[in-house]
Structure 1
Amino acid sequence: MSRILLVEDDTMIASGILYALETEGYETNHATGIKDAGSLIEHYNFDLAIIDMQLPDGTGFDVSEIFKNNATSVIFLTVVDDENTIVRAFDEGAQDYIVKPFRIRELLARVRRILSVNIKNGEKDNIIYMGHAAIHTDEAKVYVNDKSIELTALEYRLLLIFASNKGILLKRQQILDKIWDADGNFVEDNTLTVYVKRLREKLGEAIHIETVRGMGYRVD
């Protein structure tokens, strides 16, 4: 399920967009300014950000700058129908630019198009994006901000399991069964804890691996 960040200070506009997105089945988070957006970006991995260009504490460009080193797509919303601003938005890497007022159905159509293209591109290039990390399955390599991260075979296999189940709670036994099936080697429960710890150390804040006490793990 795709997660979308909406950065919009107008609560009336925001409530309408959030309702429409959630009705379509997307997971959503809402920020009213740059500071709030930055806090959410630290805790969640977003597939798409819909950003108002004029915010109380800056501009939409300040928010999109935070996304420059990951795979999050950006749609700008604005009341400013200015050619220079539009050109700059696309130069900054935005996938779309929508001028207010707009129709919700049109916004949803653009959201679906962008997310669909992202999925197709990921399949075509054999790259899986998670947070600030990119898994190149053809090379069996992992990159964080274009820097190669050295993983052992079991660490890499564990990361692929998380990548295939983003946002899903995986029980410890489920993970152990998948690793056993893949490598043919017995992995003890305590060993799993060690390998999760190593992944966290090597990937840093690039990927958030959440421990669900008494149950297992979830990666957003």
Structure 2
Amino acid sequence: MDYTPRILVVDDEQDLREILQFNLSSEGFHIDVASSAEEALTKPLETYHLLLLDVMMGGMSGYKMADLVRKEHKLDVPIIFLTAKTSENDLLTGFNVGGDDYIVKPFSIKEVIVRVKAILKRGRSTEQPNTTLESDGVKVDVESKSVTVDNELVNLTRKEFEILALLLRNKGKFISRQEILDRVWSNDVIVTERNVDVNIARLRKKVGNYGNQIIGRSGYGYCFEK
């Protein structure tokens, strides 16, 4: 492989997340982790080559997340379920919602590594995933963190870039100011919804004529129109 496969591990057991992250990283994979399906859905799922997804979690189940990944996000990223549920109906449910493989807990790390490598050898997994977000003349390259408008490079701040990428990933859907704050300013302590408005205003100017496609609606937030 001429790239580093990116894997997202989603499990609400911290010890298990850390064990998987350490061992898979040792195999040369780039590993990100999430403690819930809700957290995982805030990540750039289109940049991953594989999802390792726990079925039973405190909030949204792994099955529900997989269904959203396939139907709403329309992503073909391979999914391996991790679960203690072993009935035939459970297995069928996993495959029906778009799972590619099923690893039953408790499992050995060697088994996980073998299954992961087998999935990544499949044809659809050996190519670099699409990391470009586009709308008309606006193009965002997630990997290089660059933005072009009508093929002209535009300089955005980190926050402006993350807001634009978030809006394009959810094109046609309103995202509340609070949700934008949670996703873009997650590590900052003192921020308000006004920070969102200021960054949106600057972003509109920087993308020129396409700024009109970034619309705001009171009580709903912001949306990049289709």
Verify same fold: TM over 0.5.
yes
What CA deviation, in whole Å up to 9, does each residue of 1:91-111 have, x standing for no partner?
222110010011101111111
Letter in 2 for 1:193: L
Matched, 1:31 2:31: no
Letter in 2 for 1:52: D
1:193 aligned to which of 136, 150, 153: 153
Is the CA contact 1:132–1:206 (under 8 Å) kept in the aligned structure 2?
Answer: no
Task: Provide the TM-score with structure 1 as the length reference.
Answer: 0.58
Letter in 1 for 2:130: M
Deviation of the 1:65 alpha carbon: 2.1
Q: Which runs of 5+ in 2 are unaligned?
A: 172-226
Cα 1:120/1:19, change in 2 over 3 Å: closer
What CA deviation, in whole Å up to 9, does each residue of 1:43-90 have, x standing for no partner?
x62111101110010311122123211121100000111110101111
Cα 1:15/1:193, change in 2 over 3 Å: same
Percent of pairs identical after alignment?
23
RMSD: 3.7
Matched, 1:11 2:18: no
- Residues in 2 aligned to 1:49 and 1:118: alpha-carbon distance in whole angstroms: 16
The residue that corresponds to 1:57 in the other structure is 59
Is the CA contact 1:4–1:47 (under 8 Å) kept in the aligned structure 2?
Answer: yes
- Residues in 2 aligned to 1:121 and 1:171: alpha-carbon distance in whole angstroms: 24
Task: Provide the TM-score with structure 2 as the length reference.
Answer: 0.57
Deviation of the 1:120 alpha carbon: 6.8
- Residues in 2 aligned to 1:206 and 1:2: alpha-carbon distance in whole angstroms: 24
Matched, 1:205 2:165: no
Is the CA contact 2:12–2:36 (under 8 Å) kept in the aligned structure 1?
Answer: yes
The secondary structure found in structure 2 opposite 1:193 is strand
Matched, 1:73 2:73: no
Runs of 4+ in structure 1 deviating by more than 2 angstroms, as ranges, are 118-122, 169-172, 203-207
Q: Which runs of 5+ in 1 are unaligned?
A: 123-127, 134-143, 173-189, 208-220
Letter in 2 for 1:79: A
The residue that corresponds to 1:217 in the other structure is none
Is the CA contact 1:78–1:98 (under 8 Å) kept in the aligned structure 2?
Answer: yes
- Correspondence 1:127-146 to 2 at 5 A: 129-131=129-131
